[in-house]
Structures are given as structure tokens and as C-alpha cells.
Amino acid sequence: MIRSIATVSIGGALDEKLRTIAAAGFDAVEIFENDFTCFDGPARDVGRMCSDLGLRICALQPFRDFEGMPEPQRRLAFRRAEKKFDLMQELGTDLLLVCSNVSPLSLGGIDRAADDFRELGERAAARGLRVGFEALAWGRHVNDYRDAWEIVRRADHPSIGLILDSFHTLAPGFPVGPIRAIPADRIFLVQLADAPQLDLDVLSWSRHFRCFPGQGNLPVADFMQAIDATGYGGPLSLEIFNDQFRAQSTREVAIDGMRSLQLIGRDGATGNAVPALRARSSVSDVAFVEFAVDQTHAVGLARLLGELGFRLTGYHRSKAVERWSQGAINLLINSSENSFARSHYTTHGSGVCALALGVDDVATMMSRADALQATTFRQPVGPDEMTIPAIRGVGGSLLYFLEPGSENWDVDFTAVASEGDAGFLDHIDHISQSMRFEDMLSWEQFYAALFDVQRSPQLEISDPLGLVKSQVLQNRNGSLRLVLNASTASQTMSSRFLSEFFGAGVQHIAFACDDIFKAVSAMRAAGATFLNIPDNYYDDIDSRYELAPDLLRSMKENGILYDRDDEGEFFQVYTHAFDERFFFEIVERRKYRGFGAPNAGIRLAAQTREARSRTMPRSG
Ligand SMILES: O=C(O)c1ccc(O)c(O)c1
Ligand SMILES: [Mg+2]
């Protein structure tokens, strides 16, 4: 596969774009003409820059409003084309992308267009150049690739071919089947883009909401299968019009793009060697969660965990790290100085600095992470301590990988004899992370690229101060469930988390138990308190569901929230925020598969109330 990207897809000046694109491992670029026009330097320099960087220029684009023009516009269009041929020769590319005419002056007629292309083909051939025709979904006369192909077929010229773009094919819902019958040598370029399902005019949808394959909802895989069936072996070029992408770190966007092509995974000759991807290794569990705190907060966190039924089960042999356990849950409280945890604490305050995931094969996991350009991390360890392979995750936190069996991470801990845990909480149900809205697609792709997780449909949750987008990623057996949250409104819980925590990170962790009523009453007896839920909520629940009065009373007394789906029932309760940063949730699932989304607004309102009462002096 020749991996390409259009320069329009990322931000920066043309020379920066090219360096970033090459560094991410692409073989080729489509030069977007606007990027060249804005660039202060001759075309030859751009061509040389590309060849020095090992990038082939697979096309210059777009050339607009060409076919079907009446005179005098027709003559002018040919003159314009000759100028662009000059430019192409200086750049060192042989392909010009012509997108279908949108001009109100243009005339329809397949043969008229075919005649124009035949003549353009003659002129291109005289210079050893080629022209590809692409149907824009909003083209005035040609908006369907099947019509563009008919024009190319009738032009019947070796220098005239077809350009296929997954967005223009899939967004209007055209069938991909007919692609299979197009001879591969007539397809000059394939452009790839995905997009979220939106009820929007197709032009705005295309210009602002395109995303990398796999990040949206279009059936790009079906499109690729049809392309494969033709035997096409030319460049696959990402062409993403998205204002957010251009506003982000160009390096990260380029790497996300490369990952999307790696995940599409068509083999073939590549110039810049991109290592092959090893299979995803499956995640068996969250082996531990590590909290970074200072000494004072270490005491407070230990107290909270104790109230929730956790027991101290180990001290690290050489660092100020405690292990607290319950059921299959292990939490580390790290207050050691001169450590990764301390630098995380210094930047973010109290919070989760690392998650350790059990995977079936760590070497495979790290090799895949490496090939996908994840940042690997190793921290200095004391004598005889094991090194745990890790990569950078959300907000600069770490993801450690551990294999079950072999060498156990807890060899570094001296066991503490305790009276045994309270035994209420069984395992981690899910972990919720907040991040910048602009970074959400990138992290979704990160998790989906590394782990065998599926995306559930995205939800919108109403916070008292704005909307929050929420995306669940989970594997088949539920041993890894992640909830990503982000908001564009600056004062939502999710956004305030970012400003107060100085970055993205874990906002809450949910623990699963078998009997939430028993668990919560024991926790209360041990001193735990939970988020206060208004009576109005319980009146509403009562009106919606016919719950036994005892059950409802018990929920109300304990601040337990309720939801129901086709499969079962769900109970959830929240702790207060620890150090105003993160909180815990306790859940009981009775065959229920969701995450209590209908209650999220209630929870957010309650948390907002609590946060306000902390910051505002009481009146009277
Ligand atoms: O939005 C556009 O104008 C435009 C231009 C060139 C393309 O290849 C394309 O898919 C869209
Ligand atoms: Mg296109």
C-alpha cells in the first residue's frame, strides 16, 4: 500500500506539514493547491523538499470547474489547466485531480464532458501527465462516481482516469458494488475519509466533519473491499477536511492518520518502512490502578479506601507505595518522591497516574504499540524490582502491561497481614476519563487501535452548564470498559476537570458489587458518605417504574440511583470528590449492560451543587 495524505488534512505551513507527514511515516502526499499558493517559495523547492523527505507527490489538487463550460469559460479553463501542468512539472507530480464542476455556468451532458476530458488528456499526454476526475457529492451535473466513471470511459484516453473518494461515495449512500467492475488501471487515485452520521447538507458535512477511517460511521471497510476487488494498487490517500484537526497538534493528527491506514492494513510495497502490526492482545483485567498523591493526601485516600472496604495488603519494598485491595481490585497509593508519580502529582494534583492492564502477551502488545507510534515508557527501578513495560496514555498517564502468571507485579510488595477485606466490591466495572473535546476522536482511535474494544454509540449528557459527549469503549467480555467524556462548554464538570486537573485524566472509577445495599450500608457504618441525590429524583423514578416501596425507600436513604434496560436493572452510587478531583462509583448490575446514562445529568447537577457549596460562603 502506498500511504498518502492530502496536505489539507493537517494544520501548519506547507513545509511544516510536509516534515510532519514524512515523520509520521507516509510515502506520499497530495498537495492541496491552496497550501502551495500560501507558501512563500518556488514549486521546485517544494518538490525538492518532498523528495528529500522521501515523499512522492501523488497529486496536485483540486482543479475546479473544468468540464462542460460554455465559451469563453471553456477556453479559459484549458488555459488554467496548462498553467497547472507547468506547476505540476515543477513540483514533480504527474497527476492533476479535477473535481466535478459546481459552477452555475456549466452545462450538463456526459458526452460534452467526455469530449472536454479527451482534449485535456491529449494536452496532459503531451507532457507525460495524467488527469483524474472525481465526482463531488454536490457537483452541479456530476455528483455520483458512476457518472464520473461513464465520462472517463467515454473520454477513452489513457491519460484520463477516475478518482474515487470514500466520502463522496458513502455519504450520499451510493452503492459500492459497481466499483468492482472498474478496471484498476482506470483508477488513478483513491481518497479515504470517514465521517460521523449527521443530518446535514453534504457540503458542510464534507468540509467540516470528515475524520480518519474508523473514527466515524461510514462503511469505509465496504468501500475498501470494493476497491480491493478491482486490484487497485495505487496510493490510498487520506483527505480530511476538519477544522478541529487543523487546529490540533500536527504531529498527533498525522500519527492518527497513519494509524488509520495501518488499521486498514492493506499490504504492499511501501517506501518509508512502517513496521507490520502484530495482532491485538486481549485484555484480561485491570490489574491495578495507581494514584499519585502527596503524603497528606495519601492518608486521606487510604482513609476513604478503608471506608469503602479496602484493606492495606502491601507496602512497596523501596518506595512510599501502599497496596490496597478488595475482591479482584488492587489500588496503589503512591506518594514517593523522585518518581513518575510525583511528577504527575506536581502537574495534576491527586489523581490516577497509571493503569495496569493484564494482557495475554506483553511482547506482542508492546510491538503493536511501537508500530502504532505509541510512546513507550520505562522508569528506573530499584535493585531486584521488575520493570513493567508501559506506554503513555491519556493526559500523560501511563498504561502498564502485565501478563498473567509469569512474573507478578506484586513481587515488589511486602505483604501485610490484614483481617481480610470487607468483600463487598468485586472488580473494576469501568474507568471514566475526561479529555479535551478536540482530542476525543484521537483517544478513541488510540484505544481501538491497541485493544480489542468496540465503540458504543456516542451519547450526549446534559450537565447543568452545558453538553458533555460520552463515548463507551468496551471489549467483548467487559474486562475493559472505558468511558471517555469531553465537552466544548467551558464550565461543565468535564471541562472544569481539565482546567482544575491541568489536563486530561481519570475522572472516576466504578467498582462492581453483588449487593449494593449491603455494601453501602457497611460503608456508611465505616464512615463513608455519598453524593446527595434530591427527593425529586426518587419521585420521578417511582412514577416511571413500579418499584417495591421498600426498595425505593432504601435507594432514597442511601443516594442510590436506578436504571433499567431491556436486559436488566442497574443500581449506582457515588462518593464525594476526593481532593475535588476524582470520585468513585459503586454499581450493581443485574444483567444490565449500560452505564446509567439517564442518571448522569442528576449526578452532574448534584456534583455541581457540592462544588458550589465548597466555593461559595454560606449566606445568613
Ligand atoms: O470540498 C471540496 O471542494 C473538495 C475538493 C477536492 C476533493 O478531493 C474533495 O473531496 C472535496
Ligand atoms: Mg476528494
- Here the CATH number for the domain that contains residue 508 is 3.10.180.10
Which atom of ligand 1 is nearest to 97's Cα? 8
Residue-level pLDDT at 416: 83
C-alpha cell belonging to residue 203: 457540503
Kindly state the average pLDDT of the residues 539-560. Answer: 96
The predicted pLDDT at position 457 comes to 83
Tell me what pLDDT residue 271 has.
44
Are 440 and 378 within one domain? no
CATH classification of the domain holding 130: 3.20.20.150
Q: State whether 76 and 170 are in the same domain.
A: yes
Q: In the predicted model, is pLDDT for residue 379 greater than 90? A: no
Which residue among 206, 208, 223 is best mutated to probe the pocket of ligand 1, counting the most ligand atoms within 8 A of its Cβ?
A: 206
The answer to whether residue 149 sits within a structural domain is yes
User: Which residues, listed in sequence order, are joined to residue 415 by a DSSP beta bridge?
Assistant: 314
CB neighbourhood size of 522 (10 A): 17
The pLDDT of residue 233: 95
Residue 234 burial class via C-beta count within 10 angstroms: exposed 0-12, middle 13-18, buried 19 and up: buried
Stronger pLDDT, 198 or 495, i.e. the higher one = 198
pLDDT digits (tens, 9 = 90+) for 239-272: 999 988 988 899 999 999 999 999 998 754 444 4
pLDDT of residue 185: 98
| Max CA separation in the chain (angstroms) | 92
Domain of 334, in residue numbers:
283-415
Count of the separate structural domains present in the chain? 3
Q: Which amino acid is at 186?
A: R
- The pLDDT value recorded for residue 270 is 47
134 is in an annotated binding site: yes
CB 360 within 8 A of CB 283: no
Residue 60 has a CB neighbour count (10 Å cut-off) of 23
Last residue of a domain, one of 234, 263, 292: 263
Q: Are residues 450 and 571 in the same domain?
A: yes
Residue 269 lies in a domain: no
Residues 6+ apart with CB under 8 A from 389: 362, 365, 366, 376, 378, 400, 401
C-alpha cell at 493: 464538570
What are 435-448's pLDDT values in tens digits?
Answer: 999 899 999 999 99
Residue 18 Cβ contacting ligand 1 at under 6 Å: no
State whether 448 and 529 are in the same domain.
yes
Q: Would the CB of 33 count as within 6 Å of ligand 1? A: no
Q: Are residue 372 and residue 458 in the same domain, yes or no?
A: no
One domain, residues 74 and 138: yes
CA distances from 85 to 79, 97, 126, 161 (A): 10, 11, 11, 16
Same-domain pairing of 345 and 259: no
Q: Is residue 344 part of a domain?
A: yes
Joined grid coordinates for residue 346? 506536581
Q: What is the pLDDT of residue 405?
A: 63
Looking at residue 463, its pLDDT comes to: 80
Please, is 222 exposed, middle or buried when counting C-beta atoms within 10 Å of its C-beta (0-12, 13-18, 19+)? middle
Q: Cell match 496536485: residue?
A: 60
3-state class (DSSP) for residue 250: helix
Which is nearest to 75 in space by CA: 13, 43, 119, 108?
119
Q: Report the distance separating Cα 470 and Cα 489, nearest Å.
A: 14
Return the HEC string of 546-560. Answer: CCCHHHHHHHHHHCC
Higher pLDDT, 385 or 105: 105
Ligand 1 atom at minimum distance from 102 CA: 3
Banded pLDDT at 456 (limits 50, 70, 90): confident
For the chain, give the percent of residues with pLDDT over 70.
95
**71 belongs to an annotated ligand binding site:** no
Strand partners, 330: 325
Whole-number pLDDT of residue 192: 98
Same domain, 367 and 429: no
CA distance 175 to 184: 18
Residue 62 CA to ligand 2 center (angstroms) comes to 8
Whether residue 383 is predicted with pLDDT greater than 60 in this model: the reply is no
pLDDT band with cut points at 50, 70 and 90 for residue 173: very high
Is 547 among the domain residues? yes
CA 134 / ligand 2 centre spacing (Å) = 7
Query: What is the ipTM score, two decimals?
Result: 0.99
Question: Any bridge partners for residue 427, and if so which?
Answer: 512
In a domain, 210, yes or no: yes
Name the residue among 530, 541, 536, 535 with its Cα closest to residue 607.
530
More confident residue, 463 or 557: 557
Question: What is the rounded distance in angstroms from the CA atom of residue 573 to the CA atom of residue 596?
Answer: 11
Please tell me the least confidently modeled range out of 165-174, 298-307, 494-503. 494-503
pLDDT of residue 498: 81
Out of 98, 101, 133, 134, mutate this one to test ligand 1's pocket (max ligand atoms within 8 Å of CB): namely 134
Arithmetic mean of pLDDT, 71-77: 98
**What residue ranges in 566-617 does DSSP mark as E strands?**
569-574, 583-590
Q: How many CA atoms lie within 13 A of 286 on its CB side?
A: 30
Pair 607, 492 in one domain: yes
Residue found under cell 488527469: 131
- Which residue CA neighbors atom 11 of ligand 1 most closely? 136
Same domain (yes/no): 327, 439: no
Q: What is the CA radius of gyration of the chain?
A: 29
Tell me if 106 CB under 6 Å of ligand 1.
Answer: no
**Predicted local distance difference test score (pLDDT) of residue 507:** 93
How many angstroms is it from 266 CA to the middle of ligand 2?
20
Q: In this structure, which residue's CA is closest to atom 5 in ligand 1? A: 62
Pick the last residue of a domain from 415, 438, 453: 415
Give the mean pLDDT of 139-148: 98
Using DSSP's 3-state secondary structure scheme, residue 610 falls into helix
pLDDT band at 465 (very low <50, low <70, confident <90, very high): confident
What is the C-alpha to C-alpha distance for residues 468 and 491, in angstroms, rounded to an integer?
11
620 falls within a domain: no
Place of cell 515523520: 23
Residue 599 lies in a domain: yes
pLDDT confidence of residue 620: 40
Instruction: Supply the mean pLDDT for the chain.
Output: 92
Q: Higher-confidence residue: 614 or 23?
A: 23
Nearest ligand to the CA of 98 is 1
Q: Please determine, for residue 423, whether its predicted confidence score (pLDDT) is greater than 80.
A: yes
**What pLDDT, on a 0 to 100 scale, did the predictor assign at position 614?**
75
The answer to the question of residue 273 being in a domain is no
Q: What is the pLDDT of residue 381?
A: 58
pTM (two decimals): 0.92
What does the pLDDT read at residue 518? 96
- 442/399 same-domain check: no
| Ligand 1 atom nearest 168 alpha carbon | 10
Q: Based on the fold, state whether residues 31 and 170 are members of the same structural domain.
A: yes
> Domain boundary residue among 355, 387, 415?
415
**In this model, does residue 369 exceed pLDDT 70?**
yes
